[in-house]
Structure 1
Amino acid sequence: MSDKPHSRRKQPGGRPTPPFRRSPRPDPSERIFLYGLHTVEAAFGNPDRKRHRLYATQNALHRLEERGIAPDVPVETATPRSLQAMVGKDAVHQGAVLEVSPLPALGAQDLRRATLVLALDQVTDPHNVGAILRSAVALGADAVVTTERHAPEEGAVLAKSASGALDMVRHVRVKNMARFLEEMGEAGFQRIALDSEGDAPLDEMEFAAKVVLVLGSEGKGVRQGVRAVCDRLARLDMPGRIRSLNVSNAAVLSLYIVKRGQAGS
């Protein structure tokens, strides 16, 4: 699809289709502390990540150097105790803390060339979302979309749980998931929501070249208003005695099924 500005196409009835809505820009003065060697390494490898200062022990600096990381920001030598004071005593910082700005805000307009997008409808646990980000990178998804409310904010816990994946895949935060899915449908994406009452197993479906896969929170699942915008409802049929998976495991399996289906079509 062209990267030219989104045109005002006509909806049924002659009304113009609204242009893509842009997400609010992050506060340029806001700072986040990322920690852990994998997380810090990925942040240095992300050209979209604005970095400010690295706090690290001598051992961590050596380990980063072994990974080919040459810090492009001021480096302050720190002790493990001083790093704990910055990020909390329970944080597994591995001797490295990087001060950064939040990533640039993204929206549907940034996903025109995507082929597989994973949307999480009010999944709140940062550990689950972090694990899903890792799976999205491993399985070749182009972006992970979360809601601005009832979802974890970009920060140290999410970044650490993602073990670097936050800086490897596009993370889009939207105010209104249903509206986002409407925009993606207008851009030619097939929208599939996972639901236990889905009309067909996901692995028996045919997939378009461009798919948005929608997963909901544990317990509530995908909300009714979000399901209503989707083209299909699909289910994951489990062969064993436990009939359902938690959201992070469901994300792995469903991404694999869709990716395999797209490759074979």
Structure 2
Amino acid sequence: MSSQRERNDPKSRKGPNSSKKSGAKAAFSGQSKPFTKDKPRDKGGNAPAQTARVQTQTHSQTRAKPSVRVSEDGWIWGLHAVEAALKNPSRHGPIRLYVTPERQKALEQVAPKRGDLHVRLTEMAEFSGFLPQGAVHQGVALNGPPLEGDDLNGLMEGALRQAHPVLVMLDQVTDPQNIGAILRTCAAFGAAGLIMQDRHSPVMQGVLAKTAAGAMDIVPFARVTNLSRALESLTENGFVSLGMAGEAEHSLQVVLEQQGWRQTGSPRALVIVMGSEGEGLRRLVAEHCDHLVKIPMPGGFESLNVSHATSIALYEALGRTV
């Protein structure tokens, strides 16, 4: 017969990846129960030992198999990404936060309390049961509805309230790590927002969120159906569009100087359009840009990673204004 201590042994519990709903207290109470599912009992109320052994073996094998794929749906991991998500008033719940006791103490001092937040204290070894393989989670992960973003009009209005308004547009840039790095660069240089095409952009979660290191919840973004029509709307609202293209005649720096961009009180805003690494700007998108510009490469190498090129472009547009 199993003793009470054996029945309460945490090793016999399932991990926090159960889908069972919980009525846990909000915020960092630490009082809510972890996601568990009661094991079958015999007539005396005891958990059969054989059942516990089978469940333990299955759990260990699942964590050990490198071929097992776990969905990124709704997941954000890493300290900076999760902290920024908790601080973002535009992020809606319900939100489930999985955190080690050590990380809980750090987060509760910097993240505001939310009524839609449910906290689950989680051991480090358990994260591999619900996060993708190789996720560098730092003992904290969050699951909730992904960000939807703003509409184009709202993004433009917010940009035009800035002293030097710059938007970045991505033409079929689909790699989540590149987009995450671009968001981080936008946050670093104070870009007003990011525009992406709806059907060719990854969901704001997972690897993208980790690479952005919190910038995903700081930089406004909008998804649009058609980039060419979006450029037309931007032009109507006073934006000058600069398409980055290696074959362009003039450099970005020269065109910015011609536009008087660095002068105080510049009357026009900018949108910098970045093409995909393989194809660059598509023809129709390029035709809707006011200017095609390039980054001079005296070393003779033909191209840069799109996130690196975006960093240089934003430094020229915003870093030199300081």
Report the TM-score, using the length of structure 2 for normalisation.
Answer: 0.68
Q: 1:171 aligns with which of 212, 218, 221?
A: 221
2:16 maps to what in 1? none
1:39 maps to what in 2? 81
1:102-145 residue CA offsets vs partner (Å, 9 max, x unmatched): 22342211122311100010011111110010000001101011
Q: Decide whether the 8 Å contact of 1:237 with 1:243 is kept in 2.
A: no
Q: 1:180 aligns with which of 230, 237, 244?
A: 230
- 5+ unaligned residues in a row in structure 2: which ranges? 1-72, 160-164
Identify which range, 124-133 or 68-77, moves more after superposition.
68-77
2:204 maps to what in 1? 154
CA distance in 2, matches of 1:240, 1:96: 43
1:55 maps to what in 2? 98
Q: Decide whether the 8 Å contact of 2:189 with 2:319 is kept in 1.
A: no
SS where residue 129 of structure 1 aligns?
Answer: helix
CA distance in 2, matches of 1:139, 1:47: 22
Q: Residue 188 and residue 70 in structure 1: after superposition, are their counterparts in 2 closer, same or farther (change >3 A)? A: closer
Query: Which one-letter code corresponds to 1:82 in the other structure?
Result: E
CA distance in 2, matches of 1:241, 1:189: 32
Q: Decide whether the 8 Å contact of 1:36 with 1:94 is kept in 2.
A: yes
Does the alignment pair 1:94 with 2:138? yes
CA distance in 2, matches of 1:221, 1:202: 16
1:186-207 residue CA offsets vs partner (Å, 9 max, x unmatched): 1111011001121311011123
Quote the RMSD (CA, aligned, Å). 1.7
CA distance in 1, matches of 2:274, 2:148: 24
CA distance in 1, matches of 2:251, 2:132: 44
Shift of residue 70, structure 1, vs aligned partner = 4.3
2:277 maps to what in 1? 218
Mapping of 1:113-152 within 5 angstroms? Answer: 113-114=158-159, 115-152=165-202
1:40-95 residue CA offsets vs partner (Å, 9 max, x unmatched): 000111111114221111122123235x2244212111122332211123111111
- 5+ unaligned residues in a row in structure 1: which ranges? 1-30
SS where residue 199 of structure 2 aligns?
Answer: coil
2:119 maps to what in 1? 75
Q: Decide whether the 8 Å contact of 2:88 with 2:218 is kept in 1.
A: yes
CA distance in 2, matches of 1:70, 1:148: 31
Q: May I ask how many residue pairs the two structures share in their alignment?
A: 232
Q: Decide whether the 8 Å contact of 1:112 with 1:187 is kept in 2.
A: no
SS where residue 141 of structure 1 aligns?
Answer: coil
Report the TM-score, using the length of structure 1 for normalisation.
Answer: 0.82
CA distance in 1, matches of 2:319, 2:97: 40
Q: Decide whether the 8 Å contact of 1:117 with 1:144 is kept in 2.
A: yes
Q: Decide whether the 8 Å contact of 1:48 with 1:104 is kept in 2.
A: no
CA distance in 1, matches of 2:120, 2:239: 47
2:291 maps to what in 1? 232
SS where residue 251 of structure 1 aligns?
Answer: helix
Moved over 4 A (4+): none
Q: Residue 82 and residue 260 in structure 1: after superposition, are their counterparts in 2 closer, same or farther (change >3 A)? A: closer
Query: Which one-letter code corresponds to 2:280 in the other structure?
Result: G
1:209-230 residue CA offsets vs partner (Å, 9 max, x unmatched): 3000000000200110101111
CA distance in 1, matches of 2:213, 2:319: 25
Shift of residue 260, structure 1, vs aligned partner = 4.7
Q: Bigger radius of gyration, 1 or 2?
A: 2
CA distance in 2, matches of 1:183, 1:126: 27
Identify which range, 46-55 or 158-167, moves more after superposition.
46-55
Identify which range, 167-176 or 71-80, moves more after superposition.
71-80
CA distance in 1, matches of 2:128, 2:158: 41
Q: Decide whether the 8 Å contact of 1:32 with 1:100 is kept in 2.
A: yes
Shift of residue 256, structure 1, vs aligned partner = 1.0
Query: Which one-letter code corresponds to 2:82 in the other structure?
Result: V
